[in-house]
Amino acid sequence: MNADRLALLLWLAASAASAQGFAGLGTEAEGFAIPSPEAALTFPADHGPHPDFRIEWWYLTANLSDANGTDYGIQWTLFRSALAPFEADGWDSPQIWLGNAGLTTPEAHFAAERLARGGIGQAGVTTAPFEAWIDDWHMTSTAPSGDPLDSLSLAANGEGFAYDLTLQATRPLVPQGIDGYSVKSPEGQASYYYSQPFYEIEGTLSLPSGPVEVTGQGWLDREYSSQPLSETQDGWDWISLHLDGGEKLMGFRLRDREGAPFTSATWIAADGTPTPYPNGALTMTPLETTDVNGAPIPTQWQIDLPAQSLSLRLDALNPNSWMDLTFPYWEGPVTISGSHTGKGYLEMTGYTAP
Amino acid sequence: MRRAALAALVSHWRRQPLQFFTLIAGLALATALWSAVQAINAEARRSYAAAEGMLGLGSYETLADPAGRMPLETFARLRRAGWQVSPVLEGRALLGNQRIELLGLDFISAPQANLPGNPQLRETLSPNEIFLPPGIAFVAPDTQRALRDIAGLPHLIADTSLPPGRLVTDIAVADRILEAGGGIDSLILLKGAPDGTPGALAPQLQRFDRQSQGEISRLTDSFHLNLTAFGLLSFAVGLFIVHGTIGLAFEQRRPVFRTLRAVGLPLRELLGLLMAEIILLALLAGGLGILLGYLIAAALLPDVAATLRGLYGASIPGSLAFDPGWAASGLGVALIGALVAATHGLNSIRKMPLLASARPRAWAVASTASLRRQALAGLVLLLAGIAAPILADGLLAGFALMGGLLLGAALLLPLVLGAALSAGAALARGPVAQWFWADTRQQLPGLSLALMSLLLALATNVGVSTMVSSFRLTFTGWLDQRLVSQLYVTAPSEAEGERLRAWLAPRAEAILPIWKVDTPLYGTPGEIYGIVDHQVYRSHWPLLASSDTPWEDFYAGRGTLINEQLAYREDLSPGDSVTLGPGWTLPVSAIYSDYGNPAGQAIVHLPLLLTQHPEVPRLRHGILTEDPEGLARALHEEFGLPRANLIDNGSLKAISLQIFERTFTVTGALNVLTLSVAGFAILTALLTLSSMRLPQLAPPWALGLTRAQLARLETLRSLALAALTFALALPTGLVLAWSLLAVVNVEAFGWRLPMFLFPAQWLWLLALSLIAALLAAYLPVRRLARTDPSQFLKVFADER
Amino acid sequence: MLIDARDLTKTFTTADGKLPVLNGISLQLQPGETLALTGESGSGKSTLLHLLAALDTPDSGTIRHQDDDITSGNDTSRAAVRRNRIGLVFQQFNLIPSLDIAANLAFQARLAGRYDADWCAVLSQRLGLSELLSRYPEQLSGGQQQRVAIGRALAPRPPVLLADEPTGNLDEATADSVLEMMLELVDETGAGLLMVTHSTRLAGRLSRRLHLSQGRVA
């Protein structure tokens, strides 16, 4: 991790992030577009960037294992953050791109980040052909036809690790919320949100001990908005679970400083049919915490979705899956037990030392 | 007891206010010069450190296209290929009437430690302020004030760590101001970047060590060494003064000391009291000196700043910050100086027998043997100094030569003066003349320290002023030769350059392209110019050495011209081969002088340069014309060229000369200060001696000389000593000048200057030193002329 | 008459007020006469000698050297009197330290323009200084230095020799021999001698004696 750049990023984010929620997400949306329940998503156009929205990401997690059955997890994320609701060529672009990459083993956790501004070609997303990149990290469509996200090549690297994977989707894209309009607070803050949770993956992880051939399943989240968090929300707990029966569960809990958490869930049947659940249907209960970076962070969870007779326990593969980056957070693979078994990913933000 | 003793000791100063004044003034002057120089050095070093820290020049290598800026795509391409690099855009801009050096860093990818402003300051800035127009920029407070009312600039934030005239900002802002169109000057190689060059990814990029800054510090080192030498010199001179006054104060109080001892004050306590007194005096004088030094430094700093900027392109602010560091060093030096000066006195008191006669003895009597030893030491120093440049290279050897020369000459001075005075005595006819010479010689030991300091000051003066004047003469002549064109025009772009040439062709006598590439020569930053075939070069270019047919070879593409710096550094002579790039060597057809340029330089025939470096930016042109003003006006109207792009010969010359004048203002000021300190040293020494002169003057007076006669003789004595000292200082100074011009200059700058002699200056200096001696002798002589006969008679009286 | 001094008074101003030193003294010295001036410490004998030697001026009274009034002159004329008419010998010898013995011996004679090499040779021989001529004062004993001082005073053949305790710094044997030489040479040159001394024994060797007490002739 480059300490110099960490400080720079802190500087960049200081005014927004320190006062108003995580990563500047809880800020006003002046001049930016606001998600509307009426607007339908269109593909492949919406795979590309939406400069008029303040924040957007291409977020991929994968649960992998090698021939010996050792579990691994990887994360590949490209964030776009707009200072103004437009894109321009050259240095004058108001778009800032941030890449995060992680690789988790039962014993170790690696994290890296990249930063770039838009307009100059160092980072960006194109739709035809589809490619999302920052520096030499990339997520590139290899689909000869159909949706560009159906097959992807994915690579990233950082100090001590690298990965190079191919992804093949086995089902169509899944809209979250109501046709991709995902409500994020009782006051109605919302985002556009869709996923591709049905990736079969194979490829190579490079670790300090050498390369490891892995296979597994992946989950891509696409989300963009201008104000996903309300004023009093200061973090979230988010899960994406691959159940052994082929079903998927997306759920999140937005913690509120002044009231009950806001939860949301989407149950995705093995055939890809989504069932969204409103606030309160899902409960997420921390069972155990681990001291990470000076703060207690829940690394064992009880997940209940009574509507689907779901009662799960999540255990972190590596409780120290701390992304020690400019915007630090916890992100790592979990194993599932209880009413169902399987693997998944857990992301927790806004846990800071007191 | 102790209080009474202290009162007895201190009462001396009340009765001798002049002595008190000289003691304090001497020490204060010495401390002042020392701390002024330290303050200037500290300020300059701080600025370099800030500049270096900001650019991270020590720790980062760079990639750059020797032919000029690279397009933005190159940066993105390298990043996408995994090269961790950060772009830098540099340039000069005329903002209002301020010439500003812009440094544009990509605030997103640049190493954070090298960004301006402190973290607290930056936390108050939002990303919107930084990255959305008009953006922000960091500048020195002075520059912020200067740019305050100029419209269209980014929001300026004062940063004291920045040198004046520099503006550091995000690359987007720099790009807008410089209209660089996405061009990038260089790419900083960040941690984790690959070794080597990007090869096929960006074949035009070469890898550069960040040593140009080291180059600057090497060059400026010589300047600071110079200043430090001056500081030390004046401190040495100041020490002479302090030694004199403290010695006198001890000597005159011997009866008091003896009485105090006799009535039972233990020796240890007496020494302790004296030590305390000296420390107190040193602190008082040191404090005054630091204050004075601060004022001197503050007065000189703008010139120093101008010098460093003009000569080396190193920027330091023109205002001085008070730094407790050099203040403490000044005080410490004052303390140590006073203690060293007092050692002799304290030692003699320690050895003073309790019952010896209370009559003051001549406190500064040196035996012939010790004079010889001193002269021998001087000779050794002199020889060592001369040997230094023969045995070793480098600036230090040059300064060893100067140091050995000056100190050696100073140490030899008493012996040489003694010999001269003996010769005078041998030639003397009358008894008065005989006595005059003999007595002058006898006084020599007491005056020698002061005379040595005069010698140092005079020799330095002769040396430095000879150097400066030689420099000015050479430089002016050289400028006349070198600035062959009447008008210099810089096109804003290549296309404009093309249009400009076409437009000028029918309107100017000749258009001389001044196209160059920046490319390393022998591993250090260098430049290669291409020039066209024109008579004006043949007749004007200042060649120092050349082959038989330099221009014929040159224009046939069989030779290159190189500057003296490159020739000196790589030991090249006409006929040798010089390597101008990979696989590109040419014979040296001539070497030309190139004052004021730290970099190595070569000139080739333009077609040759275009073959080797087709990418050379074709922007600058020299224009031969009868009417530079009219043409400049027309160019301004036709092409909208800003004034900064149109410089006429006259103003260029004026600017260059101004830079060099200011370069030596500091030297001149220090010169004068040192000379005055030396004059002060003579005054103190004469005052000191005059109070002991009565026993020597009483017998001739009793035997029939009048007081007026004696006073005249005393004046003459002072003048004679000053004149004799000058006689020795002159050759010393000339050798010093030679070593400055031929050794130190070559080592520091890579060019050698011819030495010119300025006898009128010497006469002026002689007059100055005689006036100093006269002034110094005035007080004691006036006192002598007015001495009551009873004072003389006391010498003869029984009861003393 | 070599010296004719009349009604001399001299008062010094000290921190404790005015201190009268001479209260109307008159004194004459004839050619060939040797006069001893004796008295207690502070009786004014040295002051009187200084006045007679034109080293200092009286507050009132007149001093004539061979009929010329020296009290009315200026600094220059007094220096001329010292140079041309007087030989001076002091207790502290007061040789010129930067000159060698030969030069010291000849100094006043040359200053007065009456240098006589033969006479100087005679003097140095008679005073036993021939071997010491190239030495410097600091290298000589007290007796030797005083002999140089006497030679220096006599070298211009002054009409008057004034001596202030010339043997005061010497031991008795040396003092006697030095005084002997001085008297002999004074006798030979025919000069008048006025010698200040506190020693009755030495005073007895001179032709006349004047005793001072409290600034008056007793």
Q: How many domains, chain C?
A: 1
Nearest to A58 by CA among A156, A183, A158: A156
Predicted confidence pLDDT, tens digits, chain A (354 residues): 222 233 333 333 332 333 333 444 444 446 888 888 887 889 899 999 999 998 899 999 999 999 999 999 999 999 998 888 999 999 999 999 999 999 999 999 999 999 999 999 999 999 989 999 999 999 999 999 889 999 999 999 999 999 999 999 999 999 988 889 988 777 777 889 999 999 999 999 999 999 999 999 999 999 998 865 666 777 889 999 999 999 999 999 988 888 888 899 999 999 999 999 999 999 999 999 999 878 899 999 999 999 999 999 999 999 999 998 877 889 999 999 999 999 999 999 888 755
Closest residue to A83, CB basis, from B113, B131, B190: B131
Question: HEC states along B501-535?
Answer: HHHHCCCCCEEEECEEEECCECCECEEEEEECCCH
Examine residue B134 and say whether the peptide bond preceding it is cis (omega within 30 degrees of 0).
yes
Closest residue to B80, CB basis, from A90, A133, A159: A133
Taking the alpha carbons at both ends of chain B, their separation in whole angstroms is: 27
Neighbours of chain C (3+ CB pairs under 8 A): B
Chains B–C, number of C-beta pairs less than 8 Å apart: 91
Is the confidence at residue B217, as pLDDT, over 60? no
Closest residue to B81, CB basis, from A4, A15, A136: A136
Judge: C75–B706 Cβ closer than 8 Å, yes or no. yes
**B583: exposed, middle or buried (C-beta count within 10 Å: 0-12, 13-18, 19+)?**
exposed
Beta-carbon contacts of residue C73 (< 8 Å; ≥ 6 apart): C81
pLDDT at B188: 87
Residues B341 and B247 sit within 8 Å (Cβ to Cβ):
yes
> Binning pLDDT at 50, 70 and 90, where does residue B172 land?
very high
Contact residues of A toward B, CB < 8 A: 2, 4-8, 11-16, 83-84, 90-92, 94, 96, 115-117, 120-122, 133, 135-136, 157, 159
Residues A351 and A297 sit within 8 Å (Cβ to Cβ):
yes
The 10s digit of each residue's pLDDT in B249-292 is 777 777 778 778 777 788 888 888 888 888 988 899 899 988 88
The 10s digit of each residue's pLDDT in B683-700 is 776 776 676 677 788 888
Neighbours of chain A (3+ CB pairs under 8 A): B
Chain B stretch 761-800, residues whose beta carbon is closer than 8 A to a beta carbon of chain C: 789-790, 792-793, 795-799
Query: Which of A294-298, B483-487, C196-200 shows the lowest mean pLDDT across its residues?
Result: B483-487
Full domain range(s) for residue C122: 3-217
Q: Average pLDDT over chain B, rounded to whole?
A: 79
Spatial separation of the C-alpha atoms in residues B515 and B532, rounded to whole Å: 10
Q: Where are the domains of chain B?
A: 1-58+217-363, 60-209, 487-625
The 10s digit of each residue's pLDDT in B32-84 is 877 887 787 777 666 655 555 544 444 577 888 877 789 999 999 999 999 99
pLDDT at B230: 62
Shortest CA distance from B127: residue in chain A: A12
pLDDT at B123: 65
Judge: B432–C12 Cβ closer than 8 Å, yes or no. no
Query: Which of A249-258, B348-357, B442-451, B603-612 shows the lowest mean pLDDT across its residues?
Result: B348-357
Judge: C111–B431 Cβ closer than 8 Å, yes or no. yes
> Binning pLDDT at 50, 70 and 90, where does residue B225 land?
low
Spatial separation of the C-alpha atoms in residues A328 and C128, rounded to whole Å: 110
**Largest CA-CA distance found in chain C, in angstroms, rounded:** 52
Neighbours of chain B (3+ CB pairs under 8 A): A, C
Nearest to A170 by CA among A233, A246, A256: A246
Q: Which residues of chain A have a CB within 8 Å of the CB of B176?
A: 92
User: With an 8 Å Cβ cutoff, is B706 touching chain C?
Assistant: yes
The 10s digit of each residue's pLDDT in B492-543 is 777 888 888 899 888 888 888 888 887 878 877 788 988 888 888 888 887 8
User: With an 8 Å Cβ cutoff, is B436 touching chain C?
Assistant: no
Measure Cα distances from B679 to A225, B414, B450, B511, B766 in Å. Answer: 81, 18, 8, 57, 13
Judge: B438–C92 Cβ closer than 8 Å, yes or no. no
> Binning pLDDT at 50, 70 and 90, where does residue C177 land?
confident
The 10s digit of each residue's pLDDT in C94-139 is 888 888 899 999 998 988 888 999 999 998 988 888 999 988 888 8
Judge: C75–B792 Cβ closer than 8 Å, yes or no. no
| Cβ atoms within 10 Å, residue B688 | 27
Closest residue to B789, CB basis, from C55, C91, C106: C55
Shortest CA distance from A14: residue in chain B: B123
Closest residue to B790, CB basis, from C56, C90, C96: C56
Mutate to test the interface with B, among A1, A6, A10, A11 (most CBs of B within 10 A): A11
Smallest Cα distance from B52 to chain A, Å: 17
Bigger pLDDT: B635 or B70?
B70
Residues A109 and A125 sit within 8 Å (Cβ to Cβ):
no
| Cβ atoms within 10 Å, residue C72 | 10
Judge: C91–B792 Cβ closer than 8 Å, yes or no. no
Measured CA angle at B667 (ends B664, B673), to 5 deg: 140
Residues B126-135: what's their mean pLDDT?
A: 85
Nearest to B674 by CA among B19, B41, B29: B29
DSSP 8-state secondary structure symbol assigned to residue C137: G
Q: Average pLDDT over chain C, rounded to whole?
A: 87
Closest residue to B704, CB basis, from C82, C90, C164: C82
Concatenate the DSSP letters of all residues of A276-334 into one string. EE-TTS-EEEEEEEEEETTEEEEEEEEEEEGGGTEEEEEEESSTT-EE-SSS-EEEEEE
pLDDT at B360: 37
Closest residue to B703, CB basis, from C78, C107, C168: C107
Bigger pLDDT: B368 or B502?
B502
**Percent of all residues in chain B with a pLDDT value above 90, rounded to a whole number:** 8
CA B293 vs. chain centroid, Å, equals: 16
Judge: B123–A15 Cβ closer than 8 Å, yes or no. yes
Is the confidence at residue C144, as pLDDT, over 80? yes
> Binning pLDDT at 50, 70 and 90, where does residue B312 land?
low
Smallest Cα distance from C110 to chain B, Å: 6
Residues B443 and B716 sit within 8 Å (Cβ to Cβ):
no
Contact residues of C toward B, CB < 8 A: 12, 41, 46, 50, 53, 55-57, 75-76, 78-80, 82-84, 88, 90-92, 94-99, 103, 106-108, 110-112, 152, 164-165, 168
Shortest CA distance from A137: residue in chain B: B80
Strands across the sheet with C3-14, in order? C17-29, C3-14, C60-65, C68-69
pLDDT at B562: 92
Residues A225 and A55 sit within 8 Å (Cβ to Cβ):
yes
Tell me the one-letter amino acid at B575. G
**Phi, psi of A41, rounded to the nearest 5 degrees:** -75, 140
Judge: B704–C55 Cβ closer than 8 Å, yes or no. no
Beta-carbon contacts of residue B755 (< 8 Å; ≥ 6 apart): B466, B470, B737, B738, B741, B742
User: With an 8 Å Cβ cutoff, is B34 touching chain C?
Assistant: no
Spatial separation of the C-alpha atoms in residues B201 and B191, rounded to whole Å: 20
Q: A289-294, long-range: CB within 8 Å, 24+ apart, which pairs?
A: A290/A316, A290/A319, A290/A320, A292/A319, A292/A320, A292/A322, A292/A330, A292/A351, A293/A322, A293/A324, A293/A328, A293/A353, A294/A353
Q: Which residues of chain C have a CB within 8 Å of the CB of B790?
A: 12, 56
Smallest Cα distance from C184 to chain B, Å: 22
Smallest Cα distance from C1 to chain B, Å: 22
β-strand pairing of A190-207 with A174-175: antiparallel
Residues B408-427: what's their mean pLDDT?
A: 88
β-strand pairing of A274-277 with A283-292: unpaired
The 10s digit of each residue's pLDDT in C38-84 is 988 878 888 898 899 888 889 999 999 888 888 887 888 888 888 88
Is the confidence at residue B607, as pLDDT, over 80? yes
Q: What is the ipTM of this complex?
A: 0.89
User: With an 8 Å Cβ cutoff, is B177 touching chain A?
Assistant: no
Smallest Cα distance from A91 to chain B, Å: 5
Closest residue to C99, CB basis, from B435, B792, B799: B435
Judge: B79–A135 Cβ closer than 8 Å, yes or no. yes
Q: Which residues of chain B have a CB within 8 Å of the CB of C50?
A: 793, 796
Residues B574 and B544 sit within 8 Å (Cβ to Cβ):
no
Q: What's A42-348's CATH class?
A: mainly beta
Q: Which residues of chain B have a CB within 8 Å of the CB of A92?
A: 133, 172, 176
Nearest to C156 by CA among C130, C196, C123, C126: C123
User: With an 8 Å Cβ cutoff, is B152 touching chain A?
Assistant: no
Instruction: List, in sequence order, the alpha helices (H) in B89-211.
Output: 119-123, 127-131, 141-146, 171-178
Q: What is the CATH number of the domain that holds C104?
A: 3.40.50.300
Residues B145-156: what's their mean pLDDT?
A: 87
Length of chain B in terms of residues written: 800
pLDDT at B38: 78
Closest residue to A90, CB basis, from B72, B113, B133: B72
Smallest Cα distance from A350 to chain B, Å: 20
User: With an 8 Å Cβ cutoff, is B609 touching chain A?
Assistant: no
pLDDT at B358: 37
User: With an 8 Å Cβ cutoff, is B442 touching chain C?
Assistant: yes
Is the confidence at residue B574, as pLDDT, over 70? yes
Judge: A122–B76 Cβ closer than 8 Å, yes or no. yes
Spatial separation of the C-alpha atoms in residues A240 and A236, rounded to whole Å: 13
User: With an 8 Å Cβ cutoff, is B120 touching chain A?
Assistant: no
Chains A and C touch (3+ CB pairs under 8 A): no
Shortest CA distance from B82: residue in chain A: A136
Closest residue to A12, CB basis, from B113, B127, B133: B127
